Each structure stands twice: as C-alpha cells, then as structure tokens.
Structure 1
C-alpha cells in the first residue's frame, strides 16, 4: 500500500491546524491545504454538504454564519456545539478537521496513512486527551499523543540543531491564537521531560485582535453607536458577515505589522479604513504579552531553573511573531529568545521526531553534571594575573577521546569503507594516517589522524547533535572560557562560532595551558564531530593558521563581504571580529570600516540572509540594552541616550534604530536597513555628534536604499500609474522617488483615492509629495474650499504665511505657504488641469523655495 511507512504529525490549533508528513526515506514536508501549510481549524455544518472544514468552512460562513464554529479547540469541554440549530459533537468537529488532514496525506503518500502523532497542550488532562484521541482514532487508527512543548523542544534540538546538552533545561514559549503556555523541559537520555508548565486560557492572538477591535470602537462607536453595535453584537446574517470580515481584516493587519510599521484595516458597514501602526499595536498587545512574560518567569520558579541556566528560550505558535513578545522576554528575563521563520510548523514536525518509548536501558550520553573530559593533572597555568583551575583545555584536547585502550591501527582505506561513520565526516585535510581508538560513551567512533604538516588531530564522531553539544560544553567548562569572546584565529584564547564569515559551521574554544601548550577544540555541526589538537605555545600562531586552513576560512574579502562593502560604498574596510559576528546571530558577513565624516569612532556593518533573523537580532539587542520602545534617539537628546524606535525615509519605513550607553564611557547607535538585510553599529563619545554622524554619514547611499525599497515594494515601484505621475514631475525634482506610506497619504489628502509618489531632497525642499486625484472635484475636496486669505506666496508675505490662486502658463490652481514653529517652510499647491496636489516640506530660504517652485517643481 502506498501509505505504508508514512507518518503524519498534526498540531491541531485553535485557529489553524498544521500537519507534516514523514516519508519512508526520512524526508519530511508540510502538507499544503489550498496552497498553504495552515489549514483553518474552522468547521461549518452545512445542511446539505455536511461538515465543511478549512477555507471551505470560512467561505460557507459568509452566507450561513450561524452554522460556523471558527475555533473547535476552544469547545473541547463543551461536549456539543449548536450550529444552525443542530447540536454537533465536539469530537465530530475535530474529526472533520483531521479527516481533511488524512485526505491530503493520502494524496501525497499514494495511499492511506494510518500512523499519526497528535500534539496537545501539556495541561490537558485525561478527559481532554481522550476527546482528541477518540476523534483521531477512526481517522488514522494508530494515534500517539505528544505534549506540545516536548514536540517543540525536540524540533529545536534535532531540526534546528541547537545545542541542548543532556541534563540542561530550556523554555518553550507557545503563544497561539487562543491560549498561551510556558513550559520548562529538561533534556534526558530518553528525550525531553516537562518540569513545569503554566498556561493562560485567555491570552493569545485572538485576545490581541479583541483589543484592536475594542480600540476601534472608541472611534467608530462614538461616530455611530448603533452601526458599531451591529458589528460587534451582530444578530442579522448580513451583520454577522460584516463582523466576520472585520475580525478577519484585524487579524490580517496584525500579522502584517510583524513585517511592516503601518497598515489600514477595513471597517465594514462604515466603509472606512482605520489606520493601525506598530506602536499602537504594541500598546494594545502589551498588557496581554506582559501576562505571558509573568507566567514565563513564574514557571521558571516552579521548575527551580534560573533564566541564566536555560540552554535556550524558544518561541512557537503563530502569535509569537509579534515583535514585542521577543523584546519583552529578552528585557524581563535577560535571555535572547530564538525565533523561527515558520513557528506554526515547529510543533507538528517536532512531534514526528520525539523519541518513542523503548524497552531496555536508554542510550548512554555524556553526563554534563560530571566533569568532562575526566580531569587530568595540573594542566592549567595563569591567564594574565588570574590563576585558573588546574583542569585545563589541554585535558580537553588530549582526553577528548577518553582513550581507555588503544585498538590496532587501521589503514585509511579501511576506515573510509564505513558508510556512516568513516572518513567522509573528517575534513579532507585531516585524513592522513588515521587510526581508530576506543572512544567516550555516546561516541560512535574516535579517530586520531595526521594533518598535512604532521600535526595530530583527534576527531570524535557522534550520532546526534545533542551529544556533540554536550561534549563541546564539557570542553568549554574545562577551559574556563567565556562564550563569544576572543578570536581563536588571531589570539591565544577565545570561544566563538566559526568561520568568521558566511553561515556558521560550528564553534571553537582555544587557550594557552600551564604546561606550555596551546590547544584547540572545535565542532562541525554538519558532520556531528568534535575535534581537538594542541601545540607548544611557541608554535601557537602556526597552529592557528593551520586550523584556519583546515576549517576553510576564506581570505578577505569573500564575495559576500565584497558585496557588502559595495552596498556601503565604503573605504578602508576589514573583516569584522568573529565576536562581533557572533553577537549578530544570523549574519552571513560583517565588516569594520573607517567612519566617514566626524562624530563616530568606529562602525561595523552586518549582512543577513533573512529578514526575520535581522529583526530578531535588533529586538534582542534592544531588550538587552533595556532601550524603551517608541523613544526616538536620532537627535542625541533621548534621556540617558537610551531609546528604540522604527525610523523612516520620507514616510517609508526603513528599519529600527536603537541608542544606548556602551562600555568604557562610550555611546552606541545600532540600526537596520531592512530592504538591504543590513545592520550597522557605531560608537562615539558625544551624543549629539554621534547622532549627527548617523544622520549624514552612516550609509549606505540613499540611492541604493531607495532602489532596494522600491524593488521589494508590493507591487514593485513604480507601477504604470505611478510612472504616469512621475512623468508630470519636473526632472530636477525626480530625486530618489518612492511610494509614500498609507499613513502619510491619509495625513496629507485624507481618504480620497490617489496615486502618490514622494521625492527629494531638491534644491527647494527636502521632501516633496505628489498626489494624482481621480478628478478635479476630488482634489478640491481634499484641498478644501475654505479661503485662507489672499496673500500671494510668490511675493514673499510676512512670515511666509499666505494662500491665494495662481495662474502660470495656462495652468491654474491654488498655492499655500507656511512656516512651522521649528522654522521649516512648506508649500502646498494644486493644478486644476491635471488634478494633482503637491506638498513640499522642510524648505529653506523663502526666496529660494519660490524660485524652485517656479522652475523645478510646479505647476505640474
């Protein structure tokens, strides 16, 4: 049968269900439902078609909302649900969703898939578990239930390859649509066990949606209380459809704000668009997320685990995408959370990798509670003025294999005959003269090889990444090393990732020993090995150079580093320190450049492979610095030089900016340019000087930023309509043009439909917005009919305040000039013939501004 040896892992969620299929050859892939890996958990009891699920259910709910249950998981205790006047068993609702999963699994596998692993909240008792099991058994037959945090932790330890040494603990922060759970789990020889868990039944994405709707009610309820009541307390079918549309748009807008700063939510019945920004969302979601963070801290106390002792803090569940969640966790617990690209799929795939219960003794893994490797005698000397423990890195290097007895030497071609643990897992440069020895518990093989030049290297092979991590952490403890410090490629001590550019291949620890030796221990996460070697202290530089050649460290600049320097248009750049690259997790390249201009004493730039990694790093750094969200610091005047806020270019959001005090009385500015997947960090000693440098000289060139923003815009800028508008903008004012943000458009011209572009800086104004209206009447409605005087701006009225009609070269319209409290001038003008209205901000001298308007800006 086609489905034999296939298994399906299912995460039945409040709003969505995710499922992953495991193939007989070990491959796994998410099942797709109507092209998406997420199947809405909704069910619709259609009087004729029966139980519809997923998008079919949400579609049918438009005409019969009374037959619709969007969240069956929340009904697990109810027994039955009334849909369209008919009582339907909750088990039938759950079973209908699982049948859709089974049908898609059968389609992909070519036959029925009878083995399923389903996840459930760890707090569910036997009765709730039985509801889920009973609903699944008729669909699949062989059903196993796994606790959600165990599945999530297993995913991070196996699929993501994170280091979770045996005996260590980690936290799973699971923020879904309907509920929140925080769990502390511990890694053991048989997998993960739950130490403690706390849940909140009323803290999830749906509750954030409700807070947004309530906030909208403060505006629309005042405008028309009866219409708003129809939306939030619908009774008629038409109102139920409108209410469902509102909640759907609120959810979509909230999800968009995990990637953007602003959006607009359609409000049915009012036929209006309500603006929603990231800062507003943070304010509404904050109280809910603060409760989840408090529960996370409490569950750590329940488990008796300190935040600093966690091996990881992992975010799962679709609502964990809220940027504020990671920021608050980092700020309150001091632990940088790990965020993944698709948190909705983590639990489903992890369930398939949970180790099944087996008879007999568990496999032996290294015990991190004991000293590893076993202590050797007096192998540590002094480091600076501080004398460390006598157990040193030399012991880790020499005893890495924990040789209990020497086996007969084996020739290289015999070793390479092993298909799983042969020389293919040893770097080619280290394969000379390999011999095999009895190794440590948990290792599959220990090889001692000679590198080119005769250096001897011990390579220990492991079956899984957890064992590799446990072994390496033992070596780090023996060395007394501090994580993410130093540079083993250039100095005699350190612990960090390697190589110093590109994706990380593993980690390395090095140190000088009291017996006159210099030792290196490093991991290869792809090969699942730990290797070690040593040399006399006088030969340390040569060993470092050899190690760099073995691990494939490329010379500067690599193609990625060259591309980064080219984007920056910078001079005098060198590779960033490996410790800095370690600090910017997810970065694939980093460079240090001589700062241009004055105000900054140093500057480094980092290029990322994914936007989510860049945003997570920025959020984590802001949390560590305790930089308050929403505090602007680009002028250097933020109290304590401490703040974090999104920043923009002519209303178009570019990324995040953070300021905070640094070590040794320095000041630090860190920023991201998301369209270029770029982060920068600069230091200085004077707040206003450093801020001025950032505004003028931080790079990359504006033209390259604009090009990247426009290329990533949806749709790409400019469209045909925007090109037509640009054709009416004088050439000298077509400078680095963009599509303005929706909030800016609304601020300037209201809700009238327009085509919009923004350009600048020009000789007359820093920022110029052009709006093409659908008609002259629409333009006049936006501009307003009120006559604001008859002072001709072209005659430079007192205070540069005036408004009057104008006529030039057959073009007519109105021209308004004004001066703000900060001294910045602005012009606003209309063109009756083309139905275009323009706004020029941050102008300078009135004479120059009017001259620019006459020759290089308008009339259009």
Structure 2
C-alpha cells in the first residue's frame, strides 16, 4: 500500500491537534493517537547534557525560517522533542521543559524550555511530525499531501510559520481558514442545506482563542464576510476562573500553600500546580456530561466539590464576551441573526451546555452541534477551497466543491465512425461478458444470506466467502475487510463448538485466562467489551513477528481472527475495538454507578476486574475518600441472583474462611467471609483475603443496590478501618434501597406514627430492625412498631419499640431500683438507674458501660408505651445532653 492518493487534514489547535485522513477511495477516518482522536499539542524538550554550547547551538527563529539546509526549507528538528501524551507524562518530572500550548507562542519566536531556546516553528513541526507518522502508518507509506487550517485573522507572518513547519514533513501543503473548513464540513459531511448565496455563522471556541465568523456560500465554496476573534478567551480562561475560585477558598485557609500552587517556584510545586490545572480541566469537561464532580487540591490534600452551576456562573462573563462579539460580527457582515441559515458550533469548549443556551437566548438562533466538534475543522478542510496563493505563486490544487457537478467533457471526434449495427453488436457482446463475469464473481464472493445474517453487526455486509479450514472446526468462514487487513469470521454449529476451538487456541498460544488487557496491550485473555454485559472473550498474543487477535461472539456462535505484524499492534487493536465496540466512558450505567458511590476520580475498571465479578454490567475504579485503602472499585449487577452468584464464586476462588468475621482486620491470615448488616438490617456478604504483590483485599456486596465493592490496601487494620467508615454508597442511599425492598415497605402506618414521635435530629437514616435484633432487645414481647435510627450526636445506634400497652413495656424493661443513681448526674462509671420526668414525659432511665467500653442508655416513656435503647455512645455528658433535647420520644408528633 502506498501513500499516493491520500490526503491528511490537520487542525493544529491550542490544546489539541486533530487530523483526518482521506483515502484514495473516498473514505475518511480520524487518525488515532494513543487511543484518542485528539493529540495534545503539548511539546516537551528533553534536557540536554550540560555543555557550554548546548543553548547557543539552537538557531534563532529568523535563522530557522531563513536557513534552507533541507529541500523543505526548514532546519531539521532537534532531537529530544516529545509531543502529545508523552510530553504531558514527561512534564510531571520536569515541568520547566514543557510547553502545553505552542500555538499561543506563534508570535514569540522562541520558547525557553529547561534552559534550551527552541524556535516556535520547531515546536509546531514536532507535533506535525507525529501526525505525519500516524498517517504513514495507516496509509502504508508517507503521505505527501496535507491541508492545514489556521484562524481567519492570521496574517502572512503567522501563516508562514505554520507553512514552513508543515513543509518539513509534507511535500504539498495548503492552508484553509478555520471558519471556511467548519462551514464546509456542515455542508459536505453533515448534510446541512446551505443554498448558494446563504450565510452561516461559525462560532469557534477552542482552548486558547475564540473566533466568530460569518461566511457566505458561493458557487465555488465559502467566502468570509466578517470575522473577529478574542485571543484571550477560550477553555483555558474558564479553567483559570475555576482555579481562581479555588484560590479564594484555599488562599484564606493557608496563603503560603496556595501561593506555591498559584506561583510555583520549584519543580515540586510546579508538578503540584500542573496536577491541579489538569484536574480542573478534566473536572470542567466532565461537567458537560455530569452535574457535579470534585477537584483534588494538592498540598492541601483536599477534594473540592465542583458543580455545573458553579462553573457556569464562573464561565458566564467569559462566554458573554463571545456572544457579544458574535453580535458585532453579524452587524459587520450586514446579516441579521434571523437571516442566518445556520449557527455552527465548533471547538472542544463549545461542548459546554451554557454556550448553546446563551447563543439561543441572545441571537434567537438554535445552534447546530455535532458529536465531536473537535474534528469538524480538520475533516472540513479536506473539502474546502484553500487560501489564495500570494501574488507570483501558483494556487495549489484544491478539492472539488461538494455538490457541484463537474463540467461536461469536451466532445472528441473519433478517427472512424462505426455503423449503428456494429455498435449495437459490440455493445451487446460487452454487456453479455460483463453480466457473465459479474454473476460468476458474485457467486464466488457473495456469502449465502443465512451466513451474512449470523455475522456480528459491526462487520457490515461487504464480507466474502472464505475456506472453512481458515478456522478449524468452523462450518463456514467469511473474510471481512478492516483498516489493517481482513478479519476471518468462522461460523460454528453452536456455542459449545466455539468454546472448544477458542480454548484450544488459548492453550496453544500459552496465554493465561483472565490476565492482561487486549484493549491497551498486545497480550492478554479476558471477556469483552470492557463495560456492559459480556459478549464473548478475546485472546491476543504475539509470536514470530505476528500479532493475533482472536475473539468469540456468544450470540452469533462465531469465532473471529485478525492478524498483523507486531509493528502494527496499535492499529490492530483499534481495528478490533471498531469491530467489537467499546463505548466512551462513562456509559449511562457507569455514570449512574459513579454517581451512586459519590467518589472522585472514577474511571472504567479494568477487564480483569470484570472477569473477577462475572455478570456485572458496569464497573468503576475510584479514588478512596479516606486513608486506609489504596484503590476501590464498584460493580453493578442486573439482578440479585447475578450478584450473589458472583460473590459466591469469589469466595470459592479466594478460599476466604467461611463464618469468620474480618470487619476488624484481625481475622487470621486476613481470611474470612460472613454476612454483615447496617444497624441489624442485613446488607450482604463481606469477604477478606490476601491479594497479589503483598496486598490485602476486602470484597463485599450491598444487595439492596445490586452493587459489589472491592478495596485494596496494605495494612489490615487501616484497610478494615476504611471499610467500616466508607464501605459503599452513602448510607442514606443504602437505607432508602433497604427500606424500599422491605416487606412490607418501610415505614408502615404504625412505624410512621412512631417516627413522628422521634425528634428530627435523631430521625436519621431510620430502618426496621431485624427480627433477631428485636428478640435481643425486648425478647418475645409483642410490639406494635419498631425502628432504628442513627448516627446521632449522642449515640451511633438508637432503637425504639412501641408496645400495645404500658404493662408490656414495663415487663420488657424489667425491675427498677428507685434508690439507684440518676444517670443525668453522670454517676461514676456511668452506671445508674432511676425514674425521670422530662417535658411532660415520665419513665425510667438506665445507663451503663459494656466491657469493651461502649456506653449505652435505656429508657421508657410511660405516656407512649415506648422503650428505647441507645448504643455505642460517646462522652457521657454528650449522651445525656442529647437525651435531654433530641432523643425523645416526644409526646406530640413532629
């Protein structure tokens, strides 16, 4: 495969660069960089050895542009420039060598990176070299033709910087302005209807700049009627507003620590500041999909909550400037907002929901958005007319304008005219030959309809027949085209036959089931996809210079195989992902699970984790919210049966000791399994066992929510302490689910009446106590209603039992000692019993302390026939103060 006929469209952006490759056959696909269509435009200059000439050896910007040491007219880029995610990764240790936004430096000439003066064109060339390399990898040979976009307001000098850098990597380079490329995309690709003579507005909000343009469609493309930009407005400025808002909070808490983040002086502080800026950006982007998130603040070791409304309030003054400018550009173009055929949003920062709302409110035009606004300009450039060449230069050839038919060919006089009869005979013969060839080719290539119906949907309908021997055990085989070559799809008699063939392949490859990750590496075996219900299993391995992906589809009883050279593992991996599908994070189920557990930094859990919890439909791994655990993951199941089956399988695999309570971290060998409860309400199973690499693992289920959890740590006591305080979703959500699943649903009419007598400050997360707990507290005495609540300011757990009459209550309480000590006077050892009178209520009050130091209160209320117990109390004074004011029950319902 050669690079002739390929073209690459490149949108070199402030924060990210997007590139789209056009194939000779008309297909178009975005280039993928490290698994993403967006390549960070960041550049990292690797530190040079400390030599006297190290800095002076770098050319000046003028020398860089004027010198012509290579045919392209650009000095060869100095070694040691990392770009994209490699650059951002390296910047963690040497932030002084890092330039995250080269495009903003276009007028600076040179940039000082780690003591090294690097010309800006060299930074740009480094990014474009990465694009050229990926394009060559996909095309099979270097791609010589490139179309680059630039802001409409860039003059000759800026364009020349971009052109000279690009011509060092591509033989033929043309420029297209960004608004023209965007408008062309909406017509040529998105199917928008813009008649000749009609005008549209392009609202381009990127990371570093904003541009508003009004363009009019002509017979040859689009012309710019008016354009204006704001060089100081973009997503980065919204990030800065969020950063400043955090500073107002944390600067007051510790001015010196915040100053280290706001103006870092050394490398450690620079790393911390970079981490905060990155987290602010990621949090802002997440709020386009979710209503709230958190931002980790280094040096303070704190997690700041961040909500969509808060960010929109901070962003509103910035975005209002863009809306005002859009109105001025419309006026300058002489076009009324009502006269626009379209208002197109492009640039990653236009994803903010507030953008569309403000534009609609002020201009009265509903904006048009696309799924990936970051790719609009790059793909549109491939269809747009280039910028006119300067005087004296020939204009480079541009693509045909979509929808404009080519002119009819000039008539050519034939050398000899044939008679109509001869022409008819020749035409008939050609038609017969073509028909015969087509039928034979169709019969050879076209699979039977029944075989096509069994194909996994992602393969489409352009597969052809293959030999069944291509996959041993298959009844038929199909060859389906893909970006890196054909995939062979074997059709098997049933799923058992598929499993037999697949298991044999796993054994022959030497792979270990349940290890590795084919989605990120070239070796592994696991279920797929990496979220949602499993569709099958995948095996990937490498041997003798060949990389292989082999995967099953349970529903269609097929086994597919794709092969490439080991040098093209990334391409093969992306092809496999395209065939099998893996939605972006978070899916709806993952988003709901992350919101349920209310933790920060959640990401999709690894496929190995999903393999451990078979049957889960979503899994996330999040940052622990307290010390003790190093990592915590949660798994959501479709049914209680699936959850219990997964937990039973985990206990069987790990061999955790049955009936052993490990909640305190003291189980021998950190091995134990038993059910656990929340204030006597049964929740699920807790299991503990040693993990790999000297780790400890706690796994548990919350059956009412159909959720399982896994926490990993290294210290038994600390990990168990984390679990006791943070084992799952917020307690209120657990309580709500437990009560809804109760039979009958909690609260019943009698329980609701009892709750009405409990003060609001104690009426917290109330449940129905278990039958066993009732037996422990009040024996076999019949009760009308029972509730348990907590925690409170006086005790963590409080039980209330209402009896049918006072006599039953008193029998349950037992005999009292009128001469006993008054608990409200805080007797020695907090041990006493006496009558009390409080707020019109009378009864008996007992206080005590158990052997393990836990304090308790027990009291009766004669007027309501209620007996109450408060366990796990704190300071005696706090307990009695709570009992006097907030324990109840009160005589008048609240």
Using the size of structure 2 for normalisation, the TM-score is 0.49
The answer (yes or no) to whether the contact 1:415–1:423 under 8 Å persists in 2 is: no
Q: Does residue 669 of the first structure (1) align with residue 698 of the second (2)?
A: yes
The Cα of 1:454 is off from its aligned counterpart by 6.0
Matches within 5 A, 1:819-838: 819-838=849-868
> Deviation digits for residues 505-546 of structure 1, max 9, x if unmatched?
0111011121x2211111111011111111121211111112
Q: Cα deviations across residues 623-675 of structure 1 (Å, max 9, x unaligned)?
A: 33322222111111122212111111111111111112222211111111111
Per the alignment, residue 689 of structure 2 pairs with 660
SS at match of 1:481: coil
Aligned pairs for 1:224-623 within 5 A? 410=442, 414-415=446-447, 417-418=449-450, 421-439=451-469, 442-451=473-482, 453=483, 455-514=485-544, 516-623=545-652
Greater displacement, 730-739 / 477-486? 477-486
- 1:239-260 CA-to-partner distances (Å, cap 9, x unmatched) read xxxxxxxxxxxxxxxxxxxxxx
1:835, 1:491 → 2: CA distance?
Answer: 67
- Whole-Å Cα distance in 2 between the matches of residues 543 and 504 of structure 1? 21
Give, in whole Å, the separation in 2 of the partners of 1:532 and 1:500. Answer: 19
State whether residues 491 and 558 of structure 2, in contact with CA within 8 Å, keep that contact through their aligned partners in structure 1: yes
| 1:714 has 2:743 as partner | yes
1:674–1:412 Cα change, 3 Å: farther
The CA distance in 2 between the partners of 1:426 and 1:678, in whole Å, is 30
Shift of 1:682: 1.3
Q: Are 1:704 and 2:733 an aligned pair?
A: yes
Partners in 1 of 2:485 and 2:472 — Cα distance?
A: 26
Distance verdict in 2 for CA 1:721–1:683, change over 3 Å: same
Paired residue for 1:782, among 800, 804, 812? 812
Contact 2:484 2:575 (8 Å CA) reproduced: no
Summarize the Cα distance change of 1:455–1:789 in structure 2 as closer, same or farther, 3 Å threshold.
farther
Task: Tell me how far 1:858 sits from its aligned partner.
Answer: 2.0
The 1:413–1:423 alpha-carbon spacing in structure 2 relative to 1, beyond 3 Å, is farther
Offset of residue 713 of structure 1: 0.9
Residue 663 of structure 2 is aligned with which of 634, 649, 652?
634
Deviations 1:77-128 (A, max 9, x none): xxxxxxxxxxxxxxxxxxxxxxxxxxxxxxxxxxxxxxxxxxxxxxxxxxxx
Contact 2:484 2:564 in 1 (8 A): no
Q: Answer yes or no: is the 8 Å Cα contact 2:677–2:683 preserved in 1.
A: yes
Distance between the aligned counterparts of 2:714 and 2:613, measured in 1?
Answer: 23
SS in 2 for 1:659: strand
- Alpha-carbon distance in 1 for matches of 2:578, 2:818: 75
Cα distance, 1:714 vs structure 2: 1.0
Q: Which residue does 1:730 correspond to in 2?
A: 759
Aligned partners of 1:608 and 1:808: how far apart in 2? Answer: 50
* Residue equivalent to 2:768: 739
Q: What residue is the counterpart of 1:806 in the other structure? A: 836
Give the distance between the partners of 1:617 and 1:709, measured in 2 at CA.
20
Contact 1:524 1:530 in 2 (8 A): yes
8 Å contact kept, 2:757–2:888? no
Query: Aligned runs of 1:182-261 on 2, under 5 Å?
Result: none
By how many angstroms is 1:423 displaced? Answer: 4.1
Q: CA deviation at 1:416?
A: 5.2
- Shifted more, 560-569 versus 533-542: the winner is 533-542
Residue 762 of structure 2 contacts residue 886 of structure 2 at CA under 8 Å; is this kept in 1?
A: yes
Q: Which moved more, 1:484-493 or 1:440-449?
A: 440-449
CA RMSD of aligned residues (A): 1.9
Q: Distance in 1 between matches of 2:632 and 2:772?
A: 33
Kindly provide the CA deviation profile for residues 561-591 of structure 1, in whole angstroms up to 9, marking residues without a partner as x: 1111011001101111101101111111111
- Tell me how far 1:427 sits from its aligned partner: 2.8
- Structure 2: any 5+ residue segments left out of the alignment? 1-438
- 2:651 & 2:472 partners in 1: Cα distance? 42
Name 2:881's counterpart in structure 1.
851
| Inter-partner Cα distance in structure 2 for 1:806 and 1:442 | 84
Report if the CA contact (8 A) 2:842-2:863 is conserved: yes
Partner SS for 1:508: strand
In the aligned structure 1, how far is the partner of 2:711 from the partner of 2:561?
A: 36
Equivalent of 1:678 in 702, 707, 715: 707
Q: TM-score scaled by structure 1?
A: 0.51
Residues 849 and 856 of structure 2 are in contact (CA less than 8 Å); yes or no, is this contact kept in structure 1?
yes
Contact 2:854 2:873 in 1 (8 A): yes
Note the C-alpha offset of 1:412: 9.8
Cα distance change, pair 744–484 in 1 and its aligned pair in 2 (3 A): same
Listed one character per residue, the Cα deviations across residues 359-400 of structure 1 (whole Å, up to 9, x for unaligned) are xxxxxxxxxxxxxxxxxxxxxxxxxxxxxxxxxxxxxxxxxx
Q: Are the aligned partners of 1:676 and 1:708 in contact in 2 as well (CA < 8 Å)?
A: yes
CA contact (8 A) 2:847 2:856 kept: yes
Mapped partners of 2:656, 2:562: distance in 1: 43
Q: Residue in 1 aligned with 2:824?
A: 794
Shift, 1:810, TM fit: 2.1
Q: How many residues align?
A: 450
Superposition pairs of residues 751-790 of structure 1, within 5 angstroms: 751-754=780-783, 755-787=785-817, 789-790=819-820
- How far residue 438 of structure 1 moved from its aligned partner, in angstroms, is 4.2
Change (3 A) 1:789 1:641: farther
Q: Give the CA deviation at 1:611.
A: 1.6
Give distance in 2, aligned partners of 1:499 and 1:603. 21
- Can you list the C-alpha shifts for 1:676-702, whole angstroms capped at 9, x where unaligned? 111111111111111111112333111
Sort the Cα spacing of 1:438 and 1:792 in 2 relative to 1 into closer, same or farther, 3 A.
closer
Deviation at 1:463, TM superposition (A): 2.1
Q: Is 1:608–1:678's contact at 8 Å kept on the other side of the alignment?
A: yes
RCO higher in structure (CA 8 A, sep ≥6): 1
- Deviation of 1:724 after TM superposition, in Å, equals 0.5
Conserved 8 A contact 1:430-1:457: no
1: distance between equivalents of 2:752 and 2:552? 54
Q: How big is each residue's C-alpha offset from its partner over 1:161-209, in whole Å with a ceiling of 9 and x where there is no partner?
A: xxxxxxxxxxxxxxxxxxxxxxxxxxxxxxxxxxxxxxxxxxxxxxxxx
Report how far residue 609 of structure 1 moved. Answer: 1.4
- The 8 Å contact of residues 768 and 838 in structure 1, kept in 2 or not, is answered as yes
Following superposition, the deviation at residue 615 of structure 1 comes to 1.9
Q: Distance in 2 between matches of 1:442 and 1:623?
A: 33
Contact 1:827 1:840 (C-alpha < 8 Å) held by counterparts? yes
Contact 1:412 1:433 (8 Å CA) reproduced:
no
Cα distance change on mapping 1:546 and 1:792 into 2, 3 Å: same
Which deviates more, 434-443 or 654-663? 434-443
CA–CA separation in structure 2 for the residues paired with 1:631 and 1:722? 34
Instruction: Call closer, same or farther: CA 1:790–1:454 in 2, change over 3 Å.
Output: closer
1:50 is aligned to none
Shift of 1:842: 0.7
Q: 1:782 to 1:436 in 2, by over 3 A?
A: same
Q: Distance in 1 between matches of 2:449 and 2:701?
A: 49
Deviations 1:324-362 (A, max 9, x none): xxxxxxxxxxxxxxxxxxxxxxxxxxxxxxxxxxxxxxx
1:786 deviation in Å? 4.6
The answer as to whether partners of 2:462 and 2:481 remain within 8 angstroms in 1 is yes
Structure 1 gap segments, 5+ residues each: 1-406
